[in-house]
Amino acid sequence: MSVSNLLENWSQFRHTHPVDDKPHDPYKWAMSIDLDACTGCNACSIACYAENNIPVVGKERFQHGQQMHWMRIERYWDEDGREFADQGAQFLPMMCQQCEAAPCETVCPVAATNHTADGLNSQVYNRCVGSRYCSANCPFKVRYFNWYDYPTDDAVWPAEMSQQLNPDVTVRSKGVMEKCTFCVQRLTAAKSVAKSEGRIVREGEVQTACQQSCPTGAISFGNLVNPESRVHKQWQAQQVEIDKDKQTKDEKEEGSELRGYRIFEDMRPYPSVMYLERVRESAV
Amino acid sequence: MIDSGIDRRDFLKVLGWSGAAVALSGCGNTSVEDGKETVVSYVEANDYMIPGIGVYYNSTCAQCDAGCSINGRVREGRVLKLEGNPDSGINKGKLCGLGQAGVQHHYNPDRVREPILRNGNKGETITWDKAYALIAEKLTGVKGEEIAFLSGGVSGHLKALLGNYLESIGTKNHFVYEALAPVGVRAANLKSYGVALPRYRLDKAKVVLSFGADFLGSWISPVHFSQQYAQFRKGMDGQRGVLIQVESKMSLTGANADRWLVVKPGTEGVLALGIINALGTTSGEIAELVKPYDHAHVTKETGVSASQIDKIAALLKLRSPSLILAGSAVEGYAHGAQNAAAINLLNHVLGNVGKTIEAPSNVPFPQLAPIVGSTASLKSLNDGLVAGQYKVLFNFAANPVFTAPGAFKFKDNMAKVGFKVAFAHYMDETAMQADLVLPLDSALEDWGTQVPEYLADGMQLNIQQPLMEKLHANTRSMGDILLTLLKQRRADEYKNFEDYYAYLRGSLLQNKGALGAGGSDDDNFWNEALTRGVLKISSSSATLADKAATSGLQLPKAETADAKFPMHFIPGVTASLRDGRHANQPWLQESPDPLTTIVWDSWVEIHPKKALELGIVDGDVVEVTSKSGSIKAQAYLFPGIHPDAVSVPLGRGHEAMGRYAKGYGVNPFGILDAIFDKETGELALHETRVSIKKTGARVLIVKDEGAAGGMQMGRRIALRKTTDQVDLSEEV
Amino acid sequence: MYRFLRLPILLVGLFMAVSSYAANDPQPTLTTEDSLGPEIQQPIEFPHNRHAGLRNPNDPTNSDPLKGGMEIDCQYCHTYARRSAVAGIPPLQKCIGCHQNIESVRNKPRIVELFKYWDAKKPVPWKKVHDLPDFVRFNHERHIKRFVEQQNRPTQEACGYCHGDVKSMTVARRQKTLSMGWCASCHEKAHPVTAAGGTPVGDQAYWYSFQKPAAKPDASGVVKAQGPNDCWQCHK
Amino acid sequence: MKDIREDIAWVKINQDVMKSLENPRKLYWVILFCAICAFGVGVSCEIYQYRTGMGVANLNNPQVWGLYIATFIFWIGMSHSGTLLSAILHLMHADWRKPIYRFAEAMTTFSLMTAGLFVLVHIGRLWQFYYSLPYPNERGIWPNFQSPLLWDAMAIFTYLSSSILFLFVGMIPDLAIARDNMADGWRRKLYTLLALGWEGTDRQWRNFRVTYLTIACFLIPLAVSVHSIVASDFAMSQAPGWHVTSFPPYFVAGALYSGCAAIITLFIILRYTFRFEEYMTKSILKKIVRLTFAIAMVWTYLNAVEFAAVWYSHDEASKAVLIQKATGTYAPFWWGMIFCGSVVPLVFAFERFQTNIPVLFATSLLLNLGMWLERWMIIAPTFSHGLYPWTWDHDQWPSMVQWGMVFGSFGWFTLLFMIFCKVFPSVSMYEVKEMVYHRTLHLKKSEAAEQGAH
């Protein structure tokens, strides 16, 4: 705790998107979600509830918009005014995009949300004072605030239900912000195992809860800097680069035939989640 | 995994780790504290039991009957989370939301904990001994035909044991009831393919034309089909599979289709025959059959345009093999089985049988094979109840008071039985009517075996084992209860089996050879079986009929609309709530319906055009009235439904079953008319006609979707390309 | 005439001086001074000194319990610490394993009590002595790997960093503050990532989560790095 | 028009002002009672919210801020006019400010204190608010200096402390008068303590002038920066409707505007309750009204600039928010804001209304309502209609807890203000004397010149 410490370590405290002097090494967690494979079945969302001790708020609070689902499945319709949804709907799993230059991080007055060396956007519950500025500045609105004290609420976790709580994840009390962590408790456990064996985490060794449950395997998650990882290969095949706000492939006049994109890329949050566009058959 | 001295069963007792001490991390102390909390150590521990590190055990999911194998994470003696078991060919490590909510079935605060003797609305707790004695007493002097046993679908050793018990009390009245079972499809398949459920191979198909089969949501084995679907979408040779869904109300699968075709309810078979006609590749009997189904006729009946029919026919011709599915939406009519048979015909015409329709495995142990439920059996039970035929009624794993169609008046009829025993997890609607309620172990505390009806990956026997010690001391395993009851009758025969576990282990070991482990040591075999959670058994395949059966195939003429009840009523089946037996699992209640994103409540889906006509807007409370009753629910304008139909999802509207289920939504079962499939005698779920009326009240719909209502408002959020715009060849 | 201003000026000056000193303190304040926790009543008064304490050199047979310990390694009983984030409490079986063969103390009241639990197959309800707030996740395994296995520190020393001098206690009692600044003060110190002579301790994967190591070895030939400073290391 | 009499005796000034410390009209007590009640409502709402959780305010995922922050900006804004009157006009030697700047400066201080409360009320974990203060601590961590919210906190603290200092320093000579004219009692002791031994020597006066001027100079940039920083809470975020470059001047203009309107209101109230008709003359009122009118037009202009900038930009999301404001759920409030903020002040353009006290009282209240609506219309529509359509929520309505606390804040402010006016001289005696003196001099000079001309 010193001014010099503050000045010297500032860049470490407030590490933003990859810069040349601090590349992501050896980990950069990232995700890719294939919207063509996503069926909108909600298994991921429920897996997230189970893994991360997310409170079920009940009907009344849901009505007030106080739901806590870290992972929500959005359903979009065609907007061309057709009579029937005859091209089906479009589903989009949305959770914290773990932005590299996260809008939420810069505005938190107490630095409760930071960037980790792994390229995650951390949320430190016990530091949070609940100003909710991060949520106000989040373009994706994926941060959820504890409007009530759920751990002591018997409707949410009666004694029996509370035995299901995952001891690796803190149960958030009232007044703090929370959001998807990319299942950091699983990452930490996997890294600890790998570290003891003197290696880095292998591809497939760690899965997020949503990825693990997804019946169609639409979600892949892994270490973007590991060339062996599926995520790395996907990002590369889709020519999506993490530190760009406009991908080279999209600059072509005729557009790209690749499906990879990131939401609100042009606002420069540099999200760590790449989506693959949904495909629809043109022959029918 | 299990490697040393402690027996698997004792292990649970050893793990006497106090649950409460570690449960609510995060709301306890906020600063360093000393000497406040108690840490409880193991008394004895195995090497692999390390506090803070999860142990994984395989078991079988009991949330639906697809038979997915689960992998439960256990820490400090508490099961925390369920994942899929990678060793199971059915779900290959994946698990749907419904399955994952199984922990909330186990930890549900509203479970029945003691045997209850009920008298009207009052109940007193009694001991198990007293309960058993009471059953014995009530059964004395009662003839076998005066006893009825109602159950859901059962398989495995429980089925064998149950069969033995019924035999011992001399009754043949075993009614196996499932409110939502593909009975019509089974019947049609038997005629078309020679088997009730062939193996569907979506992964091998290039085109899937599905008539109302919600295989991604709730149909037969959704997790398995979802995995096949992923493969199908990736396609072969870079050619992505095409899914066309034909139905009157959009299902989850419909929402994922390349083309979703809305048809007039009940005319799916007509469209299928129309497509055969448009293919023009048939001759003889079939050609004769489809001749009347020209474009004009089909368009008039179904509402599908001629050009669309031609497009589909062209696509089916071009890309082979394809797969045509007849699902639950087509069988819910008085001509449901016929409908399905007409659709199955397409598979024959396109030569898919044997390619994407494969022969299923036979179950080598018929005594373990599942008995599948139907609504027809509920009807015969109900008829018996009306006639006052039964003096004792047992109920297990079914909730007919909730799920029987309103026209049955099941609750009233059930009251005529002198002594009603319910084996129950919760005080559900049926248990509320019972005289004796016997609490069951949860599926995560219980032993068992299961043979799924749909053997997605060859014959397998699923093992169910407890993932943790019992939560409540006075619940019992259904197996143990049956064994005790059997001992009342045939003490000699069963005296060697101390409990259901011993029975299970004994009979599996007895058949070790047939289970493919002839040479191995008993303990090794047993431990191996428990570790893997599934026993894969080699077995012969059934044979498929190679010729299409067209005889007797007849679809009804278009009917005239009923002036009083002009609308078709489609009970919606959602992936998470199904027939409502899990409505008390809060994750499922709060998990938004994928299509409407509504939570915690029921809704009436109405097409916007129809709504405009009737002056209904989102959130208007409308009354849906059929001949058998009426329900009131909020209207939701939905572009995925036929304008002449309304749909209300099943599963909500409980009047009992605890805090998370009671009082949320309405129960559409209650307004179903008693109309039956002419061929199978099955309840025609979709045949009810209704009228809808605004009540004048309006509510705010509780849903996840925001004010933009599923629009992206020009922001690039969920993007889409058509196949001619993408290059999928380089994808990983 | 401005006498009335003297006191305020003095106070303001004092405040500014103190706070600027505190704020500009170049060294992390090491709050290593002991902060003794309360004494805790345990169901059985376990004598750590007797088990882990140093042997009495004058008593080679170790017969007098008051005079010396048995120098049992901490990890002999606390075996989970090196394998899990949670140290846990040794299973009762562990105690019995030895004590069923030690007839000499079999009739001591504490041992009788112990066997009572064992015969009833009931766990002993120990009270938690080092109870961190629930949002703090200390990982025992990592610290043992780091100090005991990689740096070859004696177990008692490594455990003692946080648990204090347990070998001299009967019932364990908290000796360190275990507050965040106290933890951080150690994480802000540079610890070796190479052994003397520059041999790396583990490879990059081992110390990646630490702060950037110094480019050059220090005078003793050891490259040092500070411990992890990322919030999510301990809070999640 | 009647202004302060040039020949008024200085003793009379003392007596008149000192009388306000003794026996105000009955209305004073009525206002005080109402203020206490309103404050009580606010306090009970806060206790309820503190114990149950922020959810009782009916905030939700997109709408995370609500009325608390809107009212926070409102109070911050109100503080600006005190500084305008006391510091800026002081430097500009506008002598008409002299009888009224004291209460304006008090208004600044108290509205800042009220604003500060809203920050506390708003945060989810009030008991941990000290995490946001940069102080050396055991945990060894700093707050985030990048966050506009932290700048905000610092700016407000600085502004508040400077305002208190300015108010206090300016009051020293008057406190000495009060000390000398007060009978023995706790108040006399208080004045003795606060007067810091003021004797009115030349040296004291010289130092006093320099100090006062220095603080005044210091306060002006501070005032401008405070509201610019509050504006940057919004302008620095990415939310549509907030991400606007013109926000800082827009906020400052709005602040001055609402402050002036509040001064008119309080002027009228004080003038009546403390019988200050002699000093708070209509001619002063007329000047404030004209000033307010000018600022209203500046604000209207900046509003138009903002709309135009959004309308002709390529930022579709911001445009959607603007359209939503004008046509959506909040349309009545938004148009209310335009009406109250831009149309109502046109009344001030008419000379006959510039001194019509009932009209001015009603108008100034409407202006303040408009300015409060403006702050709400900055907050709520952006949240309800933000970047991400899936989370749009047009139906959210603040709960009674929020309204209760907004209501309570007015009680708290009035309470503080009314107590201040009763305890301290709310008209600057020494400066009124100065003013009278200067005017007399001027009068004499012009008389002499007149005579000389003859």
Domain CATH for B522: 2.20.25.90
Minimal-distance CA residue of chain B relative to C79: B50
Looking at the fold, whether B338 and B198 belong to one and the same domain comes out as yes
pLDDT of C29 strictly over 60: no
Strand bridging mode A260-261 / A273-276: antiparallel
Average pLDDT over residues B568-579: 93
Looking at the fold, whether B81 and B94 belong to one and the same domain comes out as yes
Distance (Å, whole) CA D452 – CA A193: 103
Which residues on chain A are in Cβ contact (under 8 Å) with C28? 1-2, 5
Of C38, C80, C124, which is closest to B35 when you measure between CB atoms?
C38
Minimal-distance CA residue of chain B relative to D390: B706
pLDDT tens digits for range B387-431: 999 999 999 999 999 999 999 999 999 999 999 999 999 999 999
Of D124, D237, D393, which is closest to A174 when you measure between CB atoms?
D124
Looking at the fold, whether B401 and B385 belong to one and the same domain comes out as yes
pLDDT tens digits for range B77-113: 889 999 999 999 999 999 999 999 999 999 999 999 9
Average pLDDT of chain B to the nearest whole number: 89
Tokens standing for residue A271: 């999200």
Which residues on chain A are in Cβ contact (under 8 Å) with C23? 1-3
Residues 6 or more apart in contact with residue B306 via CB below 8 angstroms:
B295, B296, B298, B299
C-beta neighbour count of C104 within 10 angstroms: 9
Contact status, residue B85 vs residue B58, Cβ threshold 8 Å: yes
By C-alpha distance, which of C44, C33, C176, C162 is closest to C99?
C44
CB-based contact D65 A106, cutoff 8 Å: no
Q: Please check whether residue C135 touches B, CB under 8 A.
A: yes
Q: Count of alpha carbons within 13 Å of D397, Cβ hemisphere only?
A: 5
Interface test with D, best of A107, A123, A267 (most D CBs within 10 A): A107
C-beta neighbour count of B485 within 10 angstroms: 23
Report which secondary-structure segment, H or E, holds C131: none
Nearest-neighbour CA in chain C from A108: distance (Å): 15
Chain center to CA of B170: 31
Distance (Å, whole) CA B710 – CA B719: 13
Looking at the fold, whether B264 and B354 belong to one and the same domain comes out as yes
Of A1, A116, A120, which is closest to C29 when you measure between CB atoms?
A1
Note down the domain range covering B490: 116-177+374-440+475-495
Look at residue B732 and tell me if it is in a domain: no
Determine the topology of domain A3-18+30-276 in CATH: Alpha-Beta Plaits (3.30.70)
Q: Which of A18-32, A188-202, B132-146, C165-179 has the lowest mean pLDDT?
A: A18-32
Contact status, residue A59 vs residue A149, Cβ threshold 8 Å: no
pLDDT of B29 strictly over 60: no
Contact status, residue D199 vs residue D176, Cβ threshold 8 Å: yes
Distance (Å, whole) CA B506 – CA B317: 54
Supply the CATH number for residue B303's domain.
3.40.228.10
CB-based contact C135 A126, cutoff 8 Å: yes
Average pLDDT over residues B236-241: 81
pLDDT tens digits for range B117-128: 998 778 899 999
| 3-class secondary structure per residue, D61-119 | CCCCCCHHHHHHHHHHHHCHHHHHHHHHHHHCCCHHHCCCHHHHHHHHHHHHHHHHHHH
Nearest-neighbour CA in chain D from B707: distance (Å): 5
Three-class DSSP category at A74: strand
Q: What's the pLDDT at B116?
A: 95
Of A26, A170, A194, which is closest to C236 when you measure between CB atoms?
A170
Interface test with C, best of D139, D145, D198 (most C CBs within 10 A): D139
Which residues on chain B are in Cβ contact (under 8 Å) with D394? 707
Average pLDDT over residues B564-572: 93
Distance (Å, whole) CA B532 – CA B529: 5
Question: With bands split at pLDDT 50, 70 and 90, how would you rate the model's confidence at B699?
Answer: very high
pLDDT of D441 strictly over 90: no
Contact status, residue A134 vs residue A107, Cβ threshold 8 Å: yes
CB-based contact C184 D140, cutoff 8 Å: yes
Of C24, C137, C211, which is closest to A2 when you measure between CB atoms?
C24
CB-based contact B227 A73, cutoff 8 Å: no
Interface test with B, best of D125, D330, D390 (most B CBs within 10 A): D390
Nearest-neighbour CA in chain C from A61: distance (Å): 25
Nearest-neighbour CA in chain D from B701: distance (Å): 11
ipTM of the complex, rounded to two decimals: 0.91
Question: With bands split at pLDDT 50, 70 and 90, how would you rate the model's confidence at A1?
Answer: very low
Average pLDDT over residues D178-198: 86
Strand bridging mode B116-119 / B436-439: antiparallel
Query: Which chains, if any, share at least 3 CB pairs under 8 A with chain D?
Result: A, B, C
Three-class DSSP category at B675: coil
Which residues on chain C are in Cβ contact (under 8 Å) with A195? 142, 145, 202, 205-206, 209
At CB < 8 A and 24+ separation, what contacts does C74-81 make? C74/C155, C74/C156, C74/C159, C74/C166, C75/C144, C75/C148, C75/C155, C77/C51, C80/B50, C80/B51, C80/B52, C80/C140, C81/C140, C81/C141, C81/C144, C81/C159
Of C19, C23, C179, which is closest to D138 when you measure between CB atoms?
C179
Q: What's the pLDDT at C88?
A: 81
Three-class DSSP category at B604: strand
Which residues on chain B are in Cβ contact (under 8 Å) with C37? 32, 34-35
Question: With bands split at pLDDT 50, 70 and 90, how would you rate the model's confidence at D11?
Answer: confident
Minimal-distance CA residue of chain B relative to A154: B109
B118, β-bridge pairs: B123
pLDDT of A251 strictly over 90: no
Contact status, residue B555 vs residue B338, Cβ threshold 8 Å: yes
Look at residue B555 and tell me if it is in a domain: no
In the block, which residue shows the tokens 């998107």?
Answer: A17
Strand bridging mode B720-722 / B259-262: unpaired
Average pLDDT over residues D388-416: 93
pLDDT tens digits for range D102-117: 888 899 999 999 999 9
Interface test with A, best of B113, B226, B245 (most A CBs within 10 A): B226
Of C24, C134, C229, which is closest to A12 when you measure between CB atoms?
C229
Whether the bond between B321 and the residue before it is cis, its omega within 30 degrees of 0, is: yes
Minimal-distance CA residue of chain C relative to A189: C85
Nearest-neighbour CA in chain A from D387: distance (Å): 6
Higher pLDDT, B200 or B5: B200
Looking at the fold, whether B527 and B428 belong to one and the same domain comes out as no
Strand bridging mode B322-326 / B419-424: unpaired
Contact status, residue D285 vs residue D3, Cβ threshold 8 Å: no
- Angle, helices B128-139/B478-489, rounded to nearest 10 degrees: 50
pTM (predicted TM-score): 0.92
Q: Which of A6-20, A97-111, B295-309 has the lowest mean pLDDT?
A: A6-20
Higher pLDDT, B204 or C210: B204
Three-class DSSP category at B593: coil
Average pLDDT of chain D to the nearest whole number: 88
Which residue type sits at B238?
G
Domain segments of chain A: what residues?
Answer: 3-18+30-276
By C-alpha distance, which of B382, B322, B378 is closest to B353?
B322
Q: Going from the N-terminus, what domains does chain D have, and what CATH number goes with each?
A: 25-133+143-389+409-435 (1.20.1630.10)
Q: Please check whether residue C67 touches B, CB under 8 A.
A: no
Look at residue B558 and tell me if it is in a domain: no
In the block, which residue shows the tokens 């994952």?
Answer: B100
Q: What's the pLDDT at D179?
A: 87
Query: Which chains, if any, share at least 3 CB pairs under 8 A with chain B?
Result: A, C, D
Contact status, residue D436 vs residue D4, Cβ threshold 8 Å: yes
Give backbone dihedrals phi and psi of D128, rounded to 5 degrees, phi first.
Answer: -115, 20
C-beta neighbour count of B189 within 10 angstroms: 23
Contact status, residue D295 vs residue D260, Cβ threshold 8 Å: yes
Supply the CATH number for residue B657's domain.
2.40.40.20
By C-alpha distance, which of D115, D375, D62 is closest to D247?
D375
Look at residue B677 and tell me if it is in a domain: yes
Report which secondary-structure segment, H or E, holds B22: helix B19-23
Q: Which of B356-360, B526-530, B691-695, D97-101 has the lowest mean pLDDT?
A: D97-101
Distance (Å, whole) CA B49 – CA B51: 6
Interface test with C, best of D125, D138, D198, D204 (most C CBs within 10 A): D138
CB-based contact D147 A107, cutoff 8 Å: yes
Minimal-distance CA residue of chain A relative to B607: A84
Report which secondary-structure segment, H or E, holds B620: strand B620-626
Residues 6 or more apart in contact with residue B361 via CB below 8 angstroms:
B455, B458, B459, B539, B540, B541, B542
Which residues on chain D are in Cβ contact (under 8 Å) with B706? 62, 389-393
Distance (Å, whole) CA C74 – CA C167: 9
Q: What's the pLDDT at A2?
A: 55
CB-based contact C24 A194, cutoff 8 Å: no
Q: Enter the DSSP assignment of D56.
A: G
Three-class DSSP category at B235: coil
Nearest-neighbour CA in chain C from D356: distance (Å): 48
Of A41, A75, A237, which is closest to B226 when you measure between CB atoms?
A41
Q: What's the pLDDT at B1?
A: 32
Distance (Å, whole) CA A72 – CA A92: 8
Look at residue B248 and tell me if it is in a domain: yes
pLDDT tens digits for range B174-198: 999 999 989 999 999 998 999 999 9
Total structural domains in chain B?
4
CB crowding D313-341: b at 16 or more within 10 Å, else e:
eeeebbbbbbebbeebbbeebbebbbebb
Higher pLDDT, C56 or D407: D407
pLDDT tens digits for range C4-22: 667 778 888 998 888 777 6
Nearest-neighbour CA in chain C from A234: distance (Å): 24
CB-based contact D390 B713, cutoff 8 Å: no
Q: What's the pLDDT at B16?
A: 39
Looking at the fold, whether B526 and B488 belong to one and the same domain comes out as no
Tokens standing for residue D69: 């922050």
